[in-house]
Homo-oligomer: A and B are copies of this chain.
Amino acid sequence: MSRPPRALFFDVFGTLIDWRQGIARESEAILSSYGHALDWLAFADDWRARYQPTLEQVRSGKRAYEKLDALHRENVRPVLARHGVTDVDDAMLDALTNAWRRLPAWPDVPPGLARLRERFLLAPVSNGNISMMAMLARFNDFHWDAILGAELADDYKPNAEVYLAACAAFDLAPDQCVMVAAHTYDLKAAAALGLRTAHVARPDEYGPGKGEAAPGMVVDWAGADLVDLASRMCP
């Protein structure tokens, strides 16, 4: 039996945060003030679809690390064009970029985090940058022990350095840390480095029935939501 875990590392977008409904709602609030009426969920999906290809440029070394805020701002331009928005200005781009700081948690997350916090150190290990994570925590009243993740490593998940930098920041060996995510690719990368893994089901992340209802690998823990995971991890 391995040592009991000391810290939980959380993926944020999708795992804790309903980015799809949130971006649709925030984009509507911003762009309707310019007189636009789009398919807001499609707009959110199109913007998010550019996420992994852009991060891959950094992960592969083709471009230097930049904060996710900067990549979001860059990526929203072609998405706006595709949806017929041509009156783009800096204020619009700023507002849309900052929409990622005002996204709602899934309802089980606040009680789940509160319970897990009684037993473990908690930190986001997200591809989002420090300021984005800090503002999302304010918006949703999360209480993190530290903000770890991509910006600490100047790289993006699932590259190894992001996970290893998080373990090192807490002075912990990988097997004392648990990666918590709704995405098998994230958990696979963490497990390969010796971290333990916890899957949270988010079957509707990308729309009804479009999300991971179960992990696509063997994990140490799996929960139907974060409260369920907490009850399994804090028996």
Contacts and interface: CB of A to CB of B under 8 A. Distances in A.
Q: Copy number of this protein in the oligomer?
A: 2
A130 B146 contact: yes
A145 B123 CA distance: 11
A232 interface: no
A171 interface: yes
A115 to B, nearest CB: 16
Interface stretch (A131-139, A178-186, A212-220): A131-139
A133 B146 contact: yes
24 contacts: A69-B171, A121-B134, A129-B169, A130-B146, A130-B148, A130-B169, A130-B170, A131-B146, A131-B169, A131-B170, A131-B171, A133-B146, A134-B145, A134-B146, A134-B170, A137-B145, A138-B145, A143-B143, A144-B146, A146-B146, A146-B147, A147-B147, A151-B169, A152-B152
Interface of A: 69, 121, 129-131, 133-134, 137-138, 143-148, 151-152, 169-171
